[in-house]
Structure 1
Amino acid sequence: MFLAFGWGRLFWQHCALQYGKRPVYLISILATMVIQVWTPYTKSNGKWIVNKVLHGFFGAPIESLCEISITDIYFQHQRGAYIGLYAMLLAGSNSFAPIIAGFIADGQGWQWVLYWCAIFCGTGFAFLFFSMEETNYSRVVLIGHENEFHKPNHLTGMVSRPPIFLTFLVIVYAGLSYGSNLVWFNILNDTASLILGSPYSFPAWAVGLYISPIVGVAIGSFYTGPIGDRIVLKMARRNNGVLDPEHRLCVFLPSLVLVPFGPILWGVCAAHAINWFGCVFAMSVIALTNTIGLQLSVSYCIDSYRDLAGEALVTVILVRNRRALLSTTVSHRGSQTWGIKMPSSLLIPLEWLSVLHSFCKIRQGIESKECFSVLTLCRENGQQWFNLLIAILCDCAKVI
């Protein structure tokens, strides 16, 4: 399912850019509703695999198309708050859904967990059908023509572009940053049942009560949203009214402390059987850093390549999935071979260096833009190539 979530974006994202976002949303949520109704009746392994592949394929727009709809509606200095709200709903659903599902399964049976999902999807389909407008910009033709204008179909070319976007360092960085912050949330889900069992003796329903991660997600969304927008605007005023995409990376500052703190606290509490509150607090911190990484990585990519954001985010998600899959697999197999301490000791410095690299990119990105502006200015004014070379070397020296 998660593999189909990743590769399905190659189809749906480009369909949305070519034909419109509204039909993609409607098809996705309607197909998901049908799949949820079908799931309780899958009795064989083959049917289950087909069900999950279709579920991932039709659900793929959830992680890459919503951000583009936000950028269609709101200005750059407003996007942080709304992408933060989107991040809260996306990351918070991973913690909130098990709480509801556990009570539904106990009261009505596990099949009704899926039936209620289908009911929610049906309600969402009706809401989108009657209230959602198309956000793709369509220019109004003021003067009529005899021949109708047909928009060229670039769908085939769009599907082949993600490998090209891998040469864009900002896009690759955003994907790696997103994946680095997602790794520990995956490890948390993988080890929660093991760690919260003995000696804490949490029952199964209590392990599923992800209340502390919900609190962390809410705090992270508020920090990267309204507070993050204020920080970015303040930095733009200091920069003579120019808002650089790298300004948003300054919001990563708390992650320098929180990214290593959360996993270390989680591992130490598990290894030494410290009070259960330490584990619960660590879960909240990990969810907080995951939300910060999600929002800022996506916002940085969109702010850097606004016109290419729809296609660039597909590459970001693909890089994120490969990064998260690699680290999660290594951690899982390493935990079985060497225990929990060794993989964690290797992954924590790597994730911390990923956050530290964000602050290196703040100056590097701005200085690179200055280097490019010097090149353009010299070409326009017809300066000698010697002066051009000296200017570029000076700016490159600043970056180094």
Structure 2
Amino acid sequence: MPLSQSSLDPEWPPGTVRIEDLSQTGDTAEVILQPNPTRDPNDPLNWPLWRKNLNFGLVCYYVVMVLALIDVATVTWGPVNLELGFSYAILNDSYAAGCGALCVGGLFLVPFALKYGRRPIYIFSTAIQCGISIWSAKMQNFADLMLVNILSCIVGALAEVLVQMTVADVYYVHQRGLTNTIYFWFMTVGTTLAPLAGGFITQSQGWRWVWWWMAILFGVGLGAFIFLYEETMFDASRIEGVPVPERNDPKPTPIKEDIEPSALEKSMSTQEAHSYQAVEIDYSIPVKSYRKKLALWANSPVPFSEVAKHCYQPFLILFSFPGVFFMALVYGLMTACTTVPVTTLSSVMTLPPYNFGASQIGLMGLPPFIGTTLGALICGPLSDSIALFLAKRNGGIFEPEMRLWLALAFTPLIPAGLFMFGIGLNNGSHWLLPAFGLGVCSVGVVPASSAALTYLTDSYTEIIADSIVGVTFIRNLISTIFVFALQPWCNRVGLTWFYVTFGLIVTVALSGNLLFIYYGKMFRARLAGAYNHYSQKQLGSRPA
């Protein structure tokens, strides 16, 4: 339940939780489950791991397909230019228009996910994307080009927002670092391997078959969501219509300074032993049938007029919480580190001295894929392990800022990769240099992006839907600005200085992680009242 204003404690702001029971020592110490699950076996937090991972696996497939639909178009630009006469400037603008549509899609669609649940939105958006793929395959004119880009991206914005809502629904704090790293890896599969496959399809079957294959794969995903994806929206305040009793407050009770040290230790040990007992599932509560699990929607009792406030509330949250705004900035720049090189490849490497065809442009997606895979393999397990290690050193208390150390360690790789990529292309160097630069940059992007998303989920769990909508807006606004500005900026200063400037901007922004490592908790404490205010407006949320 949201904290009352009188219970706010600067030492325990939202996001600060105990995740290790120090009443047990050594290897027997247990991780405390945060958020605290209910007794209901239907609570997604109580699902067996295979059910959680099945749902998350379907979500990851959805992410791959949505990102593929958005990014695969770049490898078809050459034959589309020849067949339909669209200039590269128009094609670049259509891509930028799509980035702009990604900004606003979540604002209109997330309220429906809050009102009717995640499942119907996943199903309907997959069906719509399947239809858009068919439309793209039959594209004939400029109106088709712009509309398919804009509409696919309006719906595609859900790939970012809904995923974080799903992660917060089913996974505990100590699992989210790995989960978000896996999510980001699947995003990269969509943005890098889809153009690779699209390039070969374009050469062998023609560019229209790229979209026919997208329609087929979306159709497969639609069937999987209809028959396998379970609703994860859960009202933790009620079980079978009965209000849930108050749970133990996760923070220790205040201890007077004049207590003897031994008495202090005894008091803390006793308090922990009683406060952090595992919640036992009440199996007398009936488990939903397969039919009920796969109901098309779950209708929240909150009137839609209240839910509609989430169309503008993300902006209030975005500019009210420094953590949300900063992580939006970081995530936006990390996305730009992926999208800007993609558009550069399609417009530069098709010209001398490279003269790359569609399949060769697609193959340039391999370096960022390899880099992202290496980054995920390194940072995925490390993110949660470092958080648990630092929490143990901190008396079992977890602070979301502990996630940021890993991002800071990998920061130098991003500008280094951008410099190699931009300078290499500008000088007409062997393709291996810009390819290697893309790979190096991608290794560094993974921990920064994963840390930003996980920090938001850990710090602002109760308002994560609105937070991520705001983050998505800034993220795609940054991408749109850079994609629109890329060509005139490069024409003015050249590729070298564009990428040097871009790399320096990214470095300065990522250095801000250090500020949040030291002052992030203070920001959370000072704005705990505002957090409490917005959390009370959420539907069926629960504290982390």
TM-score, length-scaled by structure 2: 0.64
Cα displacement (A) at 1:197: 4.9
Partner of 1:172: 325
- Could you tell me whether the CA contact under 8 Å between 2:134 and 2:215 is conserved in 1? yes
Tell me whether 1:192 sits opposite 2:345 in the alignment. yes
- Could you tell me whether the CA contact under 8 Å between 1:81 and 1:222 is conserved in 2? no
Partner of 2:372: 217
Tell me whether 1:72 sits opposite 2:169 in the alignment. yes
Tell me whether 1:28 sits opposite 2:125 in the alignment. yes
- Could you tell me whether the CA contact under 8 Å between 1:197 and 1:203 is conserved in 2? no
Tell me whether 1:207 sits opposite 2:361 in the alignment. yes
1:142, 1:5 → 2: CA distance?
38
Cα displacement (A) at 1:53: 2.7
Cα displacement (A) at 1:170: 0.8
Greater RCO (Cα-Cα under 8 Å, separation 6 or more): 2
2:242, 2:500 → 1: CA distance?
66
Partner of 1:124: 221
Tell me whether 1:38 sits opposite 2:191 in the alignment. no
Partner of 2:212: 115
| 1:334-371: CA deviation from partner (whole Å, max 9, x where unpaired) | 21112122223322221101111101210011344577
What SS does structure 2 have at the residue aligned with 1:65?
Answer: helix
Cα displacement (A) at 1:81: 1.1
What SS does structure 1 have at the residue aligned with 2:395?
Answer: coil
Cα displacement (A) at 1:284: 0.7
204 and 48 in structure 1: CA distance in 2 versus 1, 3 angstrom threshold: closer
Cα displacement (A) at 1:217: 1.3
Q: Among residues 226, 236, 239, which one is paired with 2:394 in the alignment?
A: 239
Cα displacement (A) at 1:372: 8.0
Cα displacement (A) at 1:253: 2.6
Aligned residues: 370
Partner of 1:287: 442
2:225, 2:479 → 1: CA distance?
32
Percent pairwise identity:
26
Partner of 1:157: 309
| 1:83-133: CA deviation from partner (whole Å, max 9, x where unpaired) | 111111112211100111122222222222111111111111111111111
| 1:234-292: CA deviation from partner (whole Å, max 9, x where unpaired) | 11111111111111011113333112211112233234444432221111112223333
1:64, 1:127 → 2: CA distance?
20
| 1:178-204: CA deviation from partner (whole Å, max 9, x where unpaired) | 112222222211222415754355444
1:126, 1:60 → 2: CA distance?
21
Unaligned runs of 5+ in 1: 374-400
2:483, 2:191 → 1: CA distance?
17
| 1:197-252: CA deviation from partner (whole Å, max 9, x where unpaired) | 54355444222211111101112222332121111111111111111111101111
Map of 1:251-400 to 2, 5 A cutoff? 251-368=406-523
Cα displacement (A) at 1:295: 1.5
What SS does structure 1 have at the residue aligned with 2:302?
Answer: coil
Tell me whether 1:141 sits opposite 2:230 in the alignment. no
Structure 1 window deviating more from structure 2 (79-88 vs 184-193): it is 184-193
368 and 311 in structure 1: CA distance in 2 versus 1, 3 angstrom threshold: closer
- Could you tell me whether the CA contact under 8 Å between 1:330 and 1:343 is conserved in 2? no
277 and 270 in structure 1: CA distance in 2 versus 1, 3 angstrom threshold: same
What SS does structure 1 have at the residue aligned with 2:461?
Answer: coil
2:242, 2:195 → 1: CA distance?
56
- Could you tell me whether the CA contact under 8 Å between 2:374 and 2:443 is conserved in 1? yes
What SS does structure 1 have at the residue aligned with 2:396?
Answer: coil
Amino acid of the structure 2 residue aligned with 1:151: V
Q: Among residues 102, 105, 116, which one is paired with 2:199 in the alignment?
A: 102
2:390, 2:431 → 1: CA distance?
41
- Could you tell me whether the CA contact under 8 Å between 2:198 and 2:362 is conserved in 1? no
What SS does structure 2 have at the residue aligned with 1:340?
Answer: helix
Tell me whether 1:60 sits opposite 2:157 in the alignment. yes
Unaligned runs of 5+ in 2: 1-97, 244-299, 529-544
CA RMSD in angstroms comes to: 2.4
TM-score, length-scaled by structure 1: 0.86
- Could you tell me whether the CA contact under 8 Å between 2:184 and 2:449 is conserved in 1? yes
- Could you tell me whether the CA contact under 8 Å between 1:33 and 1:122 is conserved in 2? yes
Bigger share in helix: 1
Amino acid of the structure 2 residue aligned with 1:152: P
